[in-house]
Amino acid sequence: MTPSTIYDREGQRKYLTPAEMDNFLTAAEEEELSVRSFCWMLAVTGCRISEALAMTVRNVDFEAKHVIIQSLKKRGKLVFRAVPLPAKFLKELEKWFSARPLDDARLWPWSRMTGYRRICEVMQKARIFGSYASPKGLRHGFGVRAIQASVPLTLVQKWLGHADIKTTAIYTCAMGPEEREIAARMWRSSRVGSHPEPKNAVQAADWTAIEPGLKMTEKDREERRSDSKKPRRTASFAAAQGSPEAPDVARFLRLAFNFYCPLIQNWVQCHAVSL
């Protein structure tokens, strides 16, 4: 069985980035209260769409500031988990609940397909496209964001309702700010940086990737174009010229010609006299 990853078979990510998550929530602000609260619930708790659709008013604990989610993938077992809610979202829910009776009716009396459609509609308004523009992309995005915020792996496992911590560990494979900073230092030490190269040094490989957020100036582009037109010397030839032990081929040929040419001329003259 192929282990779960945060990338699909084509190598595309299956999670929303923090910026995409923020754009999604911003687009949700323009929707009606029921749709807006549904989008927020999935984004800030990482719950499954079926778990959100099963919630009632009684699932939200305003005193403890969390929501109680029933894990529906436990094969009939009654397993619940508590996930904290942001203060802004709690105020939104409190305002919404004050206008409706406190009963066991579902907060979102939709079918699974309707809930899925509502999320996709907001994704399109936020201009988020791809396989990750879905409720599952929100769940994966929650896991990645929690790991990158240094939330302990065991706590992320609890919030997401994973039975095996190996499932939660897949979110550590996403590239975080620390990894990008390490890559940025590597790029700055290459030819795109400011370190000059020695005259006889072999030219380093050109980096085609530039650090995100850094724009090449027109002067940089002109220098790169001029460098590409210059003939490149191989490492062996450059080393041979710079080494004092390397033979001077042209000088050797001149000496050989000056030494052997008189001998050849003398030999020809001798044979001509004898003839």
Percent of the chain with pLDDT over 90: 49
pLDDT value of residue 39: 97
In a domain, 150, yes or no: yes
Burial category of 96 from C-beta neighbours within 10 Å (exposed 0-12, middle 13-18, buried 19 and up): middle
In a domain, 233, yes or no: no
H or E element, residue 36: helix 33-45
In a domain, 200, yes or no: no
Q: Tens digit of pLDDT for each residue in 202-214?
A: 343 333 333 333 3
pLDDT value of residue 242: 47
Name the band, by pLDDT with cuts 50, 70 and 90, for residue 99. Answer: confident
Q: How many CB atoms lie within 10 A of CB 147?
A: 20
In a domain, 193, yes or no: no
Choose the final residue of a domain: 173, 204, 224: 173
Among 144-148, 150-154, 179-183, whose mean pLDDT is lowest? 179-183
Helix H, strand E, coil C: the string for 201-243 is CCCCCCCCCCCCCCCCCHHHHHHHHHHHHCCCCCHHHHHHHHC
User: Mean pLDDT, to the nearest integer, of 262-267?
Assistant: 63
**Same structural domain, 145 and 263:** no
**Same structural domain, 39 and 145:** yes
User: Mean pLDDT, to the nearest integer, of 169-193?
Assistant: 77
Q: How many domains does the chain have?
A: 2
Helix H, strand E, coil C: the string for 141-176 is HHHHHHHHCCCCHHHHHHHHCCCCHHHHHHHHHCCC
State the residue range of the domain holding 160. 18-173
pLDDT higher for 100 or 118?
118
Reply yes or no on whether the pLDDT at 258 is more than 90: no
Tokens of 259: 């030494």
Asked if 86 contacts 22 with a C-beta cutoff of 8 angstroms, the reply is no
The CATH number of residue 168's host domain is: 1.10.443.10
Reply yes or no on whether the pLDDT at 253 is more than 70: no
**Same structural domain, 265 and 165:** no
pTM: 0.65
In a domain, 195, yes or no: no
Asked if 43 contacts 27 with a C-beta cutoff of 8 angstroms, the reply is no
Reply yes or no on whether the pLDDT at 220 is more than 50: yes
pLDDT higher for 232 or 89?
89
Q: How many CB atoms lie within 10 A of CB 32?
A: 7
Phi-psi map region of 100: left, alpha, beta (phi>0 left; psi -120 to 50 alpha): beta
In a domain, 71, yes or no: yes
pLDDT value of residue 162: 93
pLDDT value of residue 234: 44
Choose the final residue of a domain: 173, 206, 224: 173
User: Mean pLDDT, to the nearest integer, of 23-30?
Assistant: 95
pLDDT value of residue 227: 61
Asked if 97 contacts 85 with a C-beta cutoff of 8 angstroms, the reply is no
Reply yes or no on whether the pLDDT at 136 is more than 80: yes
**Same structural domain, 143 and 269:** no
User: Mean pLDDT, to the nearest integer, of 229-257?
Assistant: 54
pLDDT value of residue 261: 64
Q: Tens digit of pLDDT for each residue in 66-88?
A: 999 998 776 667 899 999 999 99
Reply yes or no on whether the pLDDT at 245 is more than 50: no
**Same structural domain, 154 and 257:** no
pLDDT value of residue 46: 96
